[in-house]
Amino acid sequence: MSARAQLLLSVADDELILGWRDSEWTGIAPTLEEDVAFSSIAQNEIGHARALYELAAVELGTDADALAFDRAPEEYRCAPLVELHLLEWAHTIARRYLYEEADRVRIEALMRSDDAELAGLAAKIDREETYHRLHAEMWAARLRDEPRFRDAVEELWPYAVGMLEPELRPELARRVGKPSNSLLQAHERGEHTPELQELWNEMTEVRRSVPGAQW
């Protein structure tokens, strides 16, 4: 597989799996407004995943649904950060905040790519992500002094580092206000958590029930 296809699948898998995790708040978020927000964010992230899979699919001779649902769990390229099953509000907000910061560093790098298709799609995704960042920014400001939130950010920081290629990590540390020696420990892409298998079982269950069906 080309480096380009690997990159596309890494970003797409992050967006799909985080979109799935965010959608787990639908119906059970602490307020009605957050119920709407998490559902909408999940829908956007999965939409971004689809567009990225479509780009990769042209090169790999397949389609977006097959890439999203027909691979084995160990073939997914998502970072461990998005796999974690965090049905606890402080951790969920800490992950949204760290994910958006890391994703922004990555998208800005992709927008500078000399691959016109990739740069164009990254620019479109960037516009939509503006609203996810505003949501994360609002919550991070509100919870900044809450020990539970600060502890969650500390705990998840090595996972956020693992989302990015090493050359982009110092920029992430600068934006989040972490010292550069905090980049030494990372939960790297390629490792998978046991939570991914559970998520995969549920996410692909209907599609696996009737292989090859047109839905």
Partner 1 sequence: MVIKTAVTAEQVWAALEEIPDPEIPVISLVDLGVIRDVAVDGAQVRIEFTPTFLGCPALEVMKRALQVKVTELGADPDVAVIQDDSWSTDRITAAGREKLREAGFAPPAPRAAGATTLVQLQSKAFRCPYCGSTETKLENIFGPTPCRSIRWCESCRQPFEQFKTI
The answer to whether 144 contacts partner 1 (rule: CB under 8 A) is: no
CA nearest 11: which of 101, 122, 97, 141? 122
Out of 4, 5, 26, 54, the residue judged to bind partner 1 by CB under 8 A: 54
Out of 65, 74, 128, 155, the residue judged to bind partner 1 by CB under 8 A: 128
Q: How far apart are CA 139 and CA 120, in angstroms?
A: 30
Question: How far from 173 is each of 17, 153, 159, CA to CA, in Å?
Answer: 24, 13, 13
Question: How far from 29 is each of 52, 55, 102, 200, CA to CA, in Å?
Answer: 28, 33, 24, 22
Residue 21 vs 48, nearer CB to partner 1: 48
Out of 1, 28, 58, 123, the residue judged to bind partner 1 by CB under 8 A: 123
For residue 114, give the DSSP letter. Answer: S
Out of 2, 6, 28, 36, the residue judged to bind partner 1 by CB under 8 A: 36
Q: How far apart are CA 160 and CA 186, in angstroms?
A: 8
Identity of the amino acid at 153: V
Identity of the amino acid at 145: D
Out of 5, 24, 26, 40, the residue judged to bind partner 1 by CB under 8 A: 40
The answer to whether 195 contacts partner 1 (rule: CB under 8 A) is: no
Shortest Cβ 67–partner 1 spacing (Å): 16
Kindly indicate which of the ranges 122-130, 167-175, 193-201, 206-214 contains the residues binding partner 1, using the contact rule CB under 8 A. 122-130
- What is the three-class DSSP state of 191? strand
The answer to whether 50 contacts partner 1 (rule: CB under 8 A) is: yes
Q: How far apart are CA 22 and CA 26, in angstroms?
A: 8
The answer to whether 101 contacts partner 1 (rule: CB under 8 A) is: no
The answer to whether 137 contacts partner 1 (rule: CB under 8 A) is: yes
Tokens 């978020």, residue located: 29
The answer to whether 169 contacts partner 1 (rule: CB under 8 A) is: no
Out of 72, 112, 114, 127, the residue judged to bind partner 1 by CB under 8 A: 127
In degrees, to the nearest 5, what angle opens at C-alpha 128 toward C-alphas 161 and 84? 35
Out of 2, 6, 130, 185, the residue judged to bind partner 1 by CB under 8 A: 130
- Binding region for partner 1 (CB under 8 A): 33, 36-37, 39-41, 43-48, 50-51, 54-55, 117, 120-121, 123-128, 130-131, 134-135, 137-138
